[in-house]
Structure 1
Amino acid sequence: MRVLVTGGAGFIGSHYVRQVLSGAYPSLTDAEVVVLDKLTYAGNEANLAPVADSARFRFVRGDICDAELVGELMSGVDLVVHFAAESHVDRSIAGSADFVLTNVLGTQTLLQGALEAAVGKFVHVSTDEVYGTIESGSWTENHLLEPNSPYSASKASSDLLARSYHRTHGLPVCVTRCSNNYGPYQFPEKVIPLFVTNLLDGRKVPLYGDGLNIRDWLHVDDHCHGIQLVADGGRAGEIYNIGGGTELTNRELTERLLAAVGAGWDQVEPVPDRLGHDRRYSVDITKIGAELGYRPRVPFDEGLAATVAWYRDNRRWWEPLKDRAALVGK
């Protein structure tokens, strides 16, 4: 069996690849894994170092918008797991062109390549941000899409393209929509690694607005486990929400991170709120639980403590990334 993983050098994609090659998913015990990654600023081959010597692993540096390359790599592929995306909201507000190019055109290029190669299953990894914001309750998979940032709009567009390739061409596509991920190897522009690494260096952390925006937190291992359940048994043409079941305000999250590193509230710097900042995200995971047996397995307190410890112990991984991206004061 051959699996093509796009964006496999990124945070979530690399975790999935490491899990596959370490035997975590029985259906892929002997699978060959081909990673396609452009290695933009957030992609890092070091994320794949633990499995780089595997005889079942192959890395290809390339662009998912390159139709010729995509066509070559799709040959003989049984499963595509599509992680590759521009994914940072603030960057999409500053400039959205790359988000449209990668997330929309890149996804279409992959879908067309998979169709022409008669790939057996295509899992398109998306985000709960496509739903917009919700004051109470939780989104089910049939909720209206109301994205509020250029990033989430580009992901919603890619979701619709994936659906269209199933409905029009019969391509066996599933879409997953996850809540906020955290864990080791996450690029330090995202809130948890940014806050942890800043605090470890004695720097302040920026808290948007009143800090009362609410997010559901999902450990990357639970997310990848959910993705594999969908790859193994998800019904073609269906959407599956994957959540972690821990909703916190940004202020509550900040308090936990301060406590984890022994810092005080004087290390928090209030900053103007993000443009179009969604107030609350919450996904209903009834469907994936009932159909595929998914449930989050990593308790948030344990997962957060392990994540903080990982960043404390792995300065050699994150310090060059922060210096390169000039993230230390942001």
Structure 2
Amino acid sequence: MENLVNFWRDRRVFVTGATGLVGSWLVKALLAQGAQVIALIRDADPQSELLRSGDLRRVAVVNGRLEDFATLERALHDHEPDTVFHLAAQTIVGAAHRNPLENFESNVRGTYHLLEACRRGQPFVQRIVVASSDKAYGTAETLPYVETMPLRGQHPYEVAKSCADLITAAYHHTYGLPVAIARCGNIYGGGDLNWSRIVPGTIRAFWRGERPVIRSDGTYVRDYLYVEDVVDAYLRLAVYLDRPGVAGEGFNFSPERPLTVLELVERIQDLMDCRHIPLDIRNTAVGEIHSQYLDASKARERLHWTPRRPLEDGLRATIAWYRAFLDEQDRLWKDRNLTGA
């Protein structure tokens, strides 16, 4: 990205969801480019890439929840960030189906609390990026999704994303808040410790010589975008927020090469040389849209963004990260058993 390093140098940046998959890599990129990062952290997971990498020691930490408005308001007024990246959310579709209250509290209340704190924090908050999902569109009669389609989620996770996006747009159109929405499909990469997700769960299963579990029938279609390409997308969206046609808008980010769950798992199978291990296809998924993928032409035209990692390259990097992580965890487990700790 042109002028990206100079743009972020010495800027104060507030990141929610900093211990998550994308949050950890976003913080890493911002620190590498000279930003001063303030991270909102609810739970300190010692296995998070943010902690394992040592990046946590290089950021200012605010402990608290999105549902606590006073914490957000205090954080913004104390640290006066120039930029806000809102990534914190309940991110598992199955968990949202089982516990819709927690899903709505985190993804809806958490979003309007953050936006209201930013509104009251003007004028020092100059740009806000809200991380959303293709799930905000709900089920569409035609694909790929384009940004002009209505937001009409039906199940708890989708509805929460639709609501959060509409609330975000309202804060721009009503109060002039400098905010834009980023919608991605399935994000993968090293550091995702939600083992129920298809990429980390499949890699761990093959690494252990076990059958990976596929909750659907395997024909569900998705986009898969590598985490570093997502970070590039968020950073570029923030940089371009003061340009025409960006603030108040939603942007799709996608490699525009959708594939089925079975196709993805077979790619991982080949890269890990595990074709001899059969798959455990259960077809028990609930609350999931069958086919979802995005058109990213708006991001190409207005933000000059394209993903840099082909799927195979991203999967190789991801597999390498998990192999190192799982080897380390295995050694620690063996050491604990040998010492009786």
Q: Cα distance, 1:195 vs. partner?
A: 0.8
Residues 283-294 of structure 1: pairs in structure 2 closer than 5 A: 283-294=294-305
Q: Which amino acid aligns with 1:264?
A: R
One-letter identity of the residue aligned with 1:71: E
Secondary structure of the corresponding residue to residue 123 of structure 1: strand
Compared CA separation, residues 2 and 146, structure 1 to 2 (3 A):
same
* Alpha-carbon distance in 1 for matches of 2:52, 2:307: 24
Q: Distance in 2 between matches of 1:40 and 1:215?
A: 31
In structure 2, the partner of 1:59 is 61
- Is 1:18 the counterpart of 2:28? The answer is yes
Identify the residue that residue 207 of structure 1 maps to in structure 2: 214
Q: 1:318 to 1:168 in 2, by over 3 A?
A: farther
Which runs of structure 2 are paired with 1:1-330 in the superposition (5 Å)?
Answer: 1-23=11-33, 29=34, 31-39=35-43, 44=48, 46-47=50-51, 49-54=53-58, 57-75=59-77, 76-118=80-122, 119-134=125-140, 136-187=142-193, 188-234=195-241, 235-264=246-275, 266-315=277-326
The residue identity in structure 1 corresponding to 2:64 is G
Contact 1:10–1:42 (Cα < 8 Å) also in 2: no
Counterpart CA distance in 2 for 1:186 and 1:117 is: 32
Q: Give the paired residue count.
A: 312
Deviations 1:266-303 (A, max 9, x none): 43112133123211111111111111110010111111
Q: Retained in 1: the 8 A contact 2:221–2:291?
A: yes
Identity rate, percent: 29
8 A Cα contact 1:11 1:47, kept in partner: no
Deviation digits for residues 209-268 of structure 1 (CA, Å, limit 9, x no counterpart): 431111111011111101111101132111111112231101111111222222236431
Unaligned runs of 5+ in 2: 1-10, 332-341
8 Å Cα contact 2:252/2:294 also seen in 1: yes
SS of equivalent residue, structure 2 residue 177: coil
The TM-score normalised by the length of structure 2 is 0.86
The answer (yes or no) to whether the contact 1:96–1:150 under 8 Å persists in 2 is yes
What are the ranges of 5 or more consecutive residues in structure 1 without an aligned counterpart?
24-28, 321-330
Q: Is the 8 A contact 1:9 1:43 kept in 2?
A: no
> What is the rounded CA distance, in whole Å, between the counterparts of 2:256 and 2:64 in structure 1?
36
Supply the distance in 1 between the matched residues of 2:44 and 2:55 (Cα, whole angstroms).
Answer: 20
SS state at 1:267 partner: coil
CA distance in 1, matches of 2:205, 2:176: 48
Q: Does the Cα contact within 8 Å between 1:9 and 1:48 map onto a contact in 2?
A: no
Task: Give the deviation of 1:149 after TM superposition.
Answer: 2.8
| 1:34–1:58 contact (8 Å) kept in structure 2 | yes
Q: CA deviation at 1:146?
A: 2.4
Return closer, same or farther for 1:246/1:150 CA change in 2, 3 Å cut-off. Answer: same
